[in-house]
Amino acid sequence: MIIAIAIGLTLLVLALSLFIREADLPKLPPENPFKIFDERKARIYENLRDLQFELRLGKLSDEDYAKSKHSLQSELAQVLADVDALKASLGASK
């Protein structure tokens, strides 16, 4: 009896999951095009804070700190340029 109920429930779940139409699904909100850039900026700012903390602890030399900071700042500048380019392209398409 329990096996029959288990098989029946399994078949019901499979039937419901296989026969769901796309029209029955709720509409998803549009993807934020700036989300990936915001995540990259947050990661870079966090890395800059960690870098400064390691300098204060004495784990990094001044030369290594300067190189790493310059590299992160260059990456951040590229991200900000990409954001500006995206804003311009979205503004031009409207």
Note whether 25 and 82 are within 8 A (CB): no
Q: Domain limits of the chain?
A: 2-93
Residue with tokens 């700012």: 45
Q: What is the dihedral of CA 57, 61, 66, 67, to 10 degrees?
A: -120
Query: pLDDT tens digits for 20-69?
Result: 777 777 888 878 889 999 999 999 999 999 999 999 999 999 999 999 99
Q: In the 8-state DSSP scheme, what is residue 31?
A: P
pTM strictly above 0.85: no
Amino acid at 61: S
Token digits for 24? 């029955």
Amino acid at 78: Q
Query: pLDDT tens digits for 22-36?
Result: 777 788 887 888 999
* d(C-alpha 39, C-alpha 33), whole Å: 11
H-assigned helices in 19-57: 35-57
| pLDDT at residue number 16 | 79
